[in-house]
Amino acid sequence: MHFMKHLIAGAAALVMATPAFAEFPDKSVTLVVGFRAGGGSDAAARILAAEMETQLGQKIIVENKGGGGGAVATQYIRSQPADGYTIGFAVATTFAFTPLTGRVDFTADDVDFIATTHGYRTVYAAPKEAPFDDWAGMIATAKDRGWINYASIIPLDRAIMQYIGKKEDIAVNIVPTRGGAGARQAVLGGHVDLGFSGSNALPMMEDGALKVIAALNPEGIAEHAQIPTLGGLGYDVAASEAAVFFGPKGMDPAARDRLEAALAEAVKSETFRDFVNNKFRGFETFRSGADTAASIAADTQAYEGLMAVIAE
């Protein structure tokens, strides 16, 4: 049923989108997803790609080039022609944080942004048998004992925790884990005191399997107002993560605008909104290409400050 609906919508869009003159796009568009096939980020990209197909009236070929948190896909996109027929999908920190680590040779200025389609939410989770229930309790426990064990997943969360450790004068034992699953295992099994987690910790908290004591994203967790944000706790840091569509530097403006408009429509679809809110448990947000570039520039500045504090 669903499929038929798309088909009809697609056919309708095709008829409407083919006026007398040849307009972008007149052939299939390749979307390079910067993550392995099958994860939450990839699923969002594929849903959006399906919606864009109905908007643009052309096939969208989804290709996965995972690795380096979107860096591999970014490198690839930079080598492609800037005609709008090859675009990429990565996250905000790919451009705002990864370049600061000095491991890649691109910055946010080396690509053109098309749009931000949705936001990610990230939290600090603690085991349910932890001797504390909130952030203040965690800090008190850590001060009392002198140290806490913290399960880290990505360089950014590690940097933020180092920053907090410095501010609070506690020793943070950073335990590296492989991906979200490794960190969750460490938290659920009570092998660490605190761990970084994506929004998949929320249903676990609702089930009483773990405690969520703070949110790293500045927007906080709308449905659980009691969870404080780092900003609310008086720290001048945050992890703002969002899904970003981008293309090679100097993209054809007409094509870029067309893609941005298609994405602006695509994010309004019921399928996508349901996915983001109820399945992915991120949050809805749409930013134009220009706004995306501005917010990434602001993030970069904030992270530079963060790195400076850690390096002190």
Binding site for another protein (CB under 8 A): 1-3, 27-28, 30, 36-40, 42-43, 46-47, 50, 61, 63-68, 71-72, 75-76, 81, 85, 101, 103-104, 146-147, 149, 155, 158, 171, 173-179, 181-182, 184-186, 188-192, 200, 203-204, 207-209, 275, 278-280
Q: In what order do the strands lie in the sheet with 147-152?
A: 171-176, 147-152, 194-197, 123-127, 210-215
Q: Which residue, 85 or 287, is less far from another protein as judged by CB?
A: 85
Q: Which residue, 76 or 229, is less far from another protein as judged by CB?
A: 76
Partner residues linked to 126 by β-bridges: 211
Give the nearest distance from C-beta 210 to another protein in angstroms.
Answer: 10
Give the nearest distance from C-beta 285 to another protein in angstroms.
Answer: 20
Q: How many CA atoms lie within 13 A of 289 on its CB side?
A: 25
Q: How many CB atoms lie within 10 A of CB 173?
A: 12
Q: Which residue, 36 or 249, is less far from another protein as judged by CB?
A: 36
Cβ(86)–Cβ(115) below 8 Å: no
Give the nearest distance from C-beta 93 to another protein in angstroms.
Answer: 13
Helices H / strands E in the chain, number of each: 11, 11
Give the nearest distance from C-beta 110 to another protein in angstroms.
Answer: 14
DSSP H helices in the chain = 2-16, 40-56, 71-78, 92-96, 135-145, 155-168, 179-188, 201-206, 253-266, 270-274, 289-311
Give the nearest distance from C-beta 225 to another protein in angstroms.
Answer: 21
Give the nearest distance from C-beta 235 to another protein in angstroms.
Answer: 21
Cβ(64)–Cβ(79) below 8 Å: no
Q: Which residue, 19 or 208, is less far from another protein as judged by CB?
A: 208
Q: Which residue, 105 or 298, is less far from another protein as judged by CB?
A: 105
**Kindly report the CA angle at 310 between 309 and 312, in degrees rounded to 5?**
65
Q: Which residue, 269 or 295, is less far from another protein as judged by CB?
A: 269
Q: How far apart are CA 216 and CA 135, in angstroms?
A: 12
Cβ(214)–Cβ(126) below 8 Å: no
Q: Which residue, 30 or 229, is less far from another protein as judged by CB?
A: 30
Q: Which residue, 3 or 234, is less far from another protein as judged by CB?
A: 3
Give the nearest distance from C-beta 171 to another protein in angstroms.
Answer: 8
Give the nearest distance from C-beta 283 to another protein in angstroms.
Answer: 16
Cβ(180)–Cβ(123) below 8 Å: no
Q: How far apart are CA 75 and CA 110, in angstroms?
A: 10
Q: Which residue, 18 or 173, is less far from another protein as judged by CB?
A: 173
Among all chains, which residue has been given the structure tokens 């706004």? 291
Give the nearest distance from C-beta 117 to another protein in angstroms.
Answer: 16
Three-state SS annotation for 170-205: CEEEEEECCHHHHHHHHHHCCCCCEEEECCCHHHHH
